[in-house]
């Protein structure tokens, strides 16, 4: 069969580097990359001139919250925001939906809620909570790439923290299925100083969640990963102190990896205004020197990926200016790419590296590396048309996730998504969306490594 679409640009981001090319698409997949002028006769051509055509990003850490807390977010709004931000695949976390995704029946409820609403492709993580080890195998066998545990209070009662004993019950099951344990890595070890500052100050919140909590949790995860030979992944790493331990463990053959998030790479605790709880998250945004160490770890390869940890809530849960009482989570899925790119280009980091951090490596984590994260024959034709030089100010009317509350409001970012294609279908262009035709994906766990 002939190709049904040709996409051309002077700047196509291929696995071998940026070059002039035309992408041929047939039945939603990339069939070939050809010289720029080699467009077959009769094939519909979209020519994007000097805009960058790059692979769609994969965000493996998104809290969609539907069903049960759809007033916080939802599949329709979250996937529209993803498409507008150049993300063509997202992986939904097992909380804060109701029910939480800690059983096969709850996973089926989640899939039913998502079906027909998604503007990008969506996969799902399972959850590890006390007593649910028997539920893990059915969820893994139905196509989830792994399961997430909290080592500290998650913030909602129906997703309690997993103890070391709970992890020991789950890890053999995950290892036997070639799956990955994701962990919110904070352990209440060393007691922080008694809160003495104003609850309106971010410094008070920061002091209450010391780096030592992350460091101790990561030390435990390294020991367990080594013992069970199970892949473990640290989500939203904030403490740069733990980077050396992670690098040493990997050098010793431990199957452990880590991600960080745009808000840890863009913001610093010293600059957060009093009462501005849209900056509250857990672990907290730390000091400027910590941010710079995270950047060095990314550039040096000690950190592998950047994902959003999009965790929105209704504005009322952020109201009052009290960092100790407000809901913890940053809403950012639409803005992750320009936020990271703005910082990366200032540091001389090429776009190709950002695409690895935000596309190729999250795809591998989620068992989707056989079809997502690269512009290569056989891969899904998930394409993003990107203007890397366009600056814009983040305004509420531009935000596509459900509530336009984010710490990026009013900030000028660089890098504008002009159009997004999922499996060869245009789902977003210049502020307008096509129909919701996203698929629900299953992982191929032999690709998780």
DSSP conformational letter for 313 = -
**Is the peptide bond prior to 155 cis by the omega test (within 30 degrees of 0)?**
no
Reference 57, options 91, 89, 14; nearest CA is: 89
Q: What is the pLDDT of residue 191?
A: 74
Reference 120, options 250, 310, 248; nearest CA is: 310
Q: What is the pLDDT of residue 445?
A: 72
Q: What is the pLDDT of residue 36?
A: 86
DSSP per position, 346-388: HTT--HHHHHIIIIIHHHHHTT-TTTSS--STTSB--EEEEEE
Quick check: is 309 in a domain?
Answer: yes
**Pair 149, 170: CB distance under 8 Å:** yes
Reference 384, options 351, 419, 415; nearest CA is: 419
CA distance 186 to 152: 6
**Pair 385, 48: CB distance under 8 Å:** yes
Quick check: is 36 in a domain?
Answer: no
* CA 240 from centre of chain: 19
Quick check: is 38 in a domain?
Answer: no
CA angle 442, 259, 138 (to 5 degrees): 30
**Pair 126, 140: CB distance under 8 Å:** yes
Residue 188 belongs to domain spanning: 55-379
Q: Torsion angle, CA of 265/270/276/278, rounded to 10 degrees?
A: 20
Segments of 101-175 assigned E as strands: 121-124, 126-127, 146-150
Quick check: is 264 in a domain?
Answer: yes
CA distance 25 to 33: 9
Quick check: is 289 in a domain?
Answer: yes
CA distance 230 to 61: 20
Quick check: is 406 in a domain?
Answer: no
Q: What Cα–Cα distance (Å) separates residue 90 from each residue in 31, 280, 363, 440?
A: 24, 23, 9, 10
Quick check: is 404 in a domain?
Answer: no
CATH number at residue 126: 3.20.20.140
Reference 63, options 82, 84, 48; nearest CA is: 82
Number of domains in the chain: 1
Quick check: is 254 in a domain?
Answer: yes
pTM value > 0.85: yes
**Positions in the chain short of pLDDT 70:** 1-2, 192-195, 446-449
**Pair 136, 167: CB distance under 8 Å:** no
């Amino acid at each position: 069969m002939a190709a049904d679409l040709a996409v051309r640009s002077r700047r196509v981001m291929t696995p071998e580097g940026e070059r002039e090319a035309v992408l041929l698409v047939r039945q939603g997949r990339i069939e070939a990359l050809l010289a720029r002028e080699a467009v077959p006769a009769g094939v519909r051509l979209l020519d994007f001139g000097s805009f960058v055509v790059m692979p769609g990003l994969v965000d493996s850490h998104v809290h969609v919250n539907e069903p049960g807390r759809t007033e916080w977010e939802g599949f329709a709004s979250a996937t529209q925001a993803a498409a507008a931000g150049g993300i063509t695949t997202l992986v939904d976390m097992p909380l804060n939906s109701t029910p939480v995704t800690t059983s096969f029946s709850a996973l089926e409820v989640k899939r039913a809620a998502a079906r027909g609403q998604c503007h990008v492709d969506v996969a799902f993580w399972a959850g590890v909570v006390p007593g649910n080890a028997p539920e893990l195998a059915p969820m893994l066998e139905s196509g989830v790439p792994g399961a997430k545990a909290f080592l500290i209070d998650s913030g909602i009662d129906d997703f309690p923290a997993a103890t070391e004993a709970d992890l020991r019950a789950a890890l053999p099951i995950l290892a036997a299925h070639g799956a990955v344990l994701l962990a919110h890595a904070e352990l209440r070890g060393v007691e922080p100083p008694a809160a003495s500052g104003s609850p309106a100050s971010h410094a008070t919140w920061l002091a209450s969640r010391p780096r030592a909590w992350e460091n101790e949790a990561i030390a435990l995860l390294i020991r367990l990963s080594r013992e069970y030979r199970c892949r473990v992944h640290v989500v939203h790493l904030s403490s740069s102190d733990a980077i050396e331990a992670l690098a040493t463990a990997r050098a010793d053959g431990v199957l452990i990896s880590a991600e960080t998030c745009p808000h840890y790479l863009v913001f610093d605790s010293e600059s957060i205004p009093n009462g501005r709880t849209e900056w509250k998250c857990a672990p907290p945004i730390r000091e400027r020197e910590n941010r710079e160490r995270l950047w060095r770890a990314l550039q040096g390869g000690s950190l592998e990926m950047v994902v959003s940890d999009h965790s929105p809530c209704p504005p009322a849960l952020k109201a009052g200016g009290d960092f100790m009482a407000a809901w913890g989570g940053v809403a950012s899925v639409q803005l992750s790419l320009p936020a990271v790119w703005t910082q990366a280009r200032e540091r001389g980091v090429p776009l190709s590296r950002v695409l690895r951090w935000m596309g190729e490596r999250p795809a591998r984590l989620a068992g989707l590396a056989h079809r997502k994260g690269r512009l290569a024959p056989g891969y899904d034709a998930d394409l993003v048309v990107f203007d890397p030089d366009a600056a814009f100010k983040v305004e509420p009317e531009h935000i596509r996730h459900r509530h336009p509350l984010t710490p990026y409001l009013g900030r000028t970012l660089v890098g504008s998504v002009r159009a997004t294609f999922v499996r060869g279908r245009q789902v977003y262009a210049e502020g307008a969306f096509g129909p919701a035709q996203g698929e629900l994906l299953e992982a191929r766990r032999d690709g998780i490594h």
